[in-house]
């Protein structure tokens, strides 16, 4: 069984400020973890993923996330927010032994960037 909890359904930051979006997961098997971004009326775009190896992963648009097994977390960060980062962000988990990558998603965090 897998689940994802995204703490904070809405996060607001000022342009240039640090972005921190929180994600905690549970998984009965070694997890694969993903962050996606969704702009209005569009599908999901992969930002980054953790499968194995290095626990700090870098993605597109300056985002990165760190897999912390002891904390069952995979928080998303970006040092300096840009107006174009305003969107909905989803954390997802799939497991090594689950059906070929079937993913379980969190409920999303809406990021607002203030000028």
Binding segment for other proteins (CB under 8 A), chosen from 11-19, 20-28, 68-76, 90-98, is: 90-98
Q: Is 107 in the site for other proteins (CB under 8 A)?
A: yes
In the complex, the smallest distance separating the C-beta of residue 8 from other proteins, rounded to whole angstroms, is 14
In the complex, the smallest distance separating the C-beta of residue 4 from other proteins, rounded to whole angstroms, is 8
E runs forming strands in the chain: 2-7, 10-14, 19-27, 31-38, 44-50, 56-58, 64-68, 73-78, 87-95, 104-105, 109-114
Please return the burial class of 74, using the count of CB atoms within 10 Å of its CB with bins 0-12, 13-18 and 19+.
buried
Work out which of 47, 104, 111, 113 binds other proteins, going by CB under 8 A: 104
Q: Report 8-47 residues binding other proteins (CB under 8 A).
A: 32, 36, 41-46
**Site for other proteins (CB under 8 A): how many residues?**
24
Cβ-based neighbours of 31, under 8 Å, separated by 6 or more: 2, 25, 50, 93, 94, 95, 96
Interaction site with other proteins (CB under 8 A): 4, 32, 36, 41-46, 49, 51, 90, 92, 94, 99-108
């Amino acid at each position: 069984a897998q689940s994802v909890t995204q703490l904070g359904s809405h996060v607001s930051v000022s342009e240039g400020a640090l972005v921190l979006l929180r994600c905690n997961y549970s998984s009965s098997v070694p997890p694969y973890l993903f962050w996606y971004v969704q702009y209005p009326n569009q599908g999901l775009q992969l930002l980054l993923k953790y499968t194995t190896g290095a626990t700090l992963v870098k993605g597109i648009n300056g985002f990165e996330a760190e897999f912390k097994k002891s904390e069952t977390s995979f928080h998303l960060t970006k040092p300096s927010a840009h107006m174009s980062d305003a969107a909905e962000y989803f954390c997802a988990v799939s497991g090594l032994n689950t059906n070929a990558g079937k993913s379980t998603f969190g409920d999303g965090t809406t990021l607002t960037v203030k000028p």
